[in-house]
Structure 1
């Protein structure tokens, strides 16, 4: 069994189309079919059912797919390990991050890029749920996201920040001078929130439910910048972590309650090899958090 065959199988499994898989792999369809047939002969089991021009995974194909992906990932990690032994003058870091960390991450990006100018960085924003799904698929080196209720045994969690949940309102709002606000007061205000898939939104829906309160959600918007523009009008408010708020035209009012803090973690796959560049970046994140006096763990 060759890694090349495993790579071919995984692409065919993903697309369920030999022709499309061969195009992406830049090989002929006959070569792809031949290699997969050789793999099936070695395993002594069919991995695909061929029905005309269509292919469907067999039960054996489904089971083999999970281990094939692990084998390919392990091989890739071995290559990264070898390339990364001596220095971090070249390489790439891919980071998934929740929007709440956008202010914090800018300082880290600038400082890291100055120290290691040849390391390429890709930053992807998303919800905690989406980011963790992509982390599990090995799309990221690590993610910065909120701590979930349930920890997964295959993930490594490194505490970074503890963030206070706040009501975000316009500086010109009559609420702007309040030092704190209760959930009951918040429930009576017109709210513009991120979509329900966002972790912060779900956190507050659960908090309202626990208090048997019904929030007045007037808008759901999947773009935080747009939400800030809506809040600046003074007619609506939103709920975010204090790490999100740095616009001079809005202010964050801490929401009362002992459970109004959320933990932000550096989350990675336990078994994945940690590149030296990733380790340096995470060390830098830990150093920088000390500069954010309002955010502590």
Structure 2
């Protein structure tokens, strides 16, 4: 059953004259008659009584006309909805972001929402590992994470910037005047770091293990503002990606001497998944914000 056949049937039902209906539809009468006949054969019941040159609706035709009209209306509504979706007048995009990149996301989100207020944006904060899993399950359109591996062939990777992993300390702490610090020195200080499920936490612990060191991790928290608040008390020091630290009034960041203490921020999405226009524009705004603040 095709929408074309439904349109032909409804026009014939409206005019009760195949010749006039065909003329109105800009097709031949034989084409109209053939298409309606095919529709009747598919439904296995006649929709019209054909008495000489007169045409009237059967009871089945009267009943079917209601549903045929509803079907065409829904199809047309669907086309209008898709047009609105492409014109960014409706729709939803789902963005995943790791805790350390909330500031980059916020800037892009404000610009996007101001320009396209009718598009709903769903934001999910989580660890990089959890966000990659949600992306694989098609729960997210794209994710914004720290990630150095680009080996999964079904992902599209867009690197944004590199940011050093640094010691974060209270400005009045005994370490605040240091120009740099080693992992060995850090292993002797009380630390507050992100929870073990976070990729930056994995990165830090691997660096200590590689150097044969056991860090003094006092507190693990899955919220960067809380880590910064704890560091401000002067009782602990933090290890964070530098871009995560915007509060420079009470805090200072100190480079870590070891090589490779750098994380790469990137946008990751699925290669084969259809990318909605809204997602494409949001991606472009993330890239533009990154260029403006490079």
Write out per-residue CA displacement over residues 46-81 of structure 1, whole angstroms, 9 at most, x where no aligned residue.
xxxxxxxxxxxxxxxxxxxxxxxxxxxxxxxxx9x9
Give unmatched runs, 5+ long, in structure 1: 1-78
Q: Is the CA contact (8 Å cut-off) linking 1:135 and 1:143 kept in structure 2?
A: yes
Matches within 5 A, 1:157-236: 157-236=157-236
Give the drift of 1:225: 2.4
Output aligned runs, 1:92-103, within 5 Å. 92-103=92-103
Give yes or no for contact 1:84–1:276 (8 Å, CA) kept in 2: no
Residue pairs, 1:136-155, within 5 angstroms: 136-149=136-149, 151-155=151-155
Larger Cα-atom Rg: 2
Q: What is aligned with 2:117?
A: 117
TM-score by length of 2: 0.69
Deviations 1:229-259 (A, max 9, x none): 2111111011110111012322221212330
Cα distance in 2 for residues equivalent to 1:129 and 1:113: 27
- In the alignment, structure 2 segments of 5+ residues that lack a partner are 1-78
Distance 1:174 1:133, change over 3 A: same
Name the CA distance, whole Å, in 2 between partners of 1:82 and 1:163.
40
Relative to 1, partners in 2 of residues 1:84 and 1:162: Cα closer, same or farther, differing over 3 Å?
farther
Runs of 4 or more consecutive aligned structure 1 residues displaced over 3 Å after TM superposition: 81-86
Give the number of equivalent residue pairs: 215
Partner of 2:263: 262
Q: Verify the 8 A CA contact 1:104 1:243 in the aligned structure 2.
A: no
Match of 2:135 in 1: 135
Task: With the length of structure 1 as denominator, give the TM-score of the two structures.
Answer: 0.68
Kindly state the Cα deviation for residue 289 of structure 1 after the two structures are TM-superposed.
Answer: 0.8
- SS, match of residue 191 in structure 1: strand
Shift of 1:226: 2.1
* 84 and 261 in structure 1: CA distance in 2 versus 1, 3 angstrom threshold: farther
Summarize deviations over 1:245-288 as a string: whole Å, max 9, x none. Answer: 01232222121233011111111111110111111111111111
| Matched position secondary structure for 1:176 | coil
CA deviation after TM superposition for structure 1 residue 194, in Å: 1.6
Secondary structure, in 3 states, of the residue corresponding to 1:262?
Answer: strand
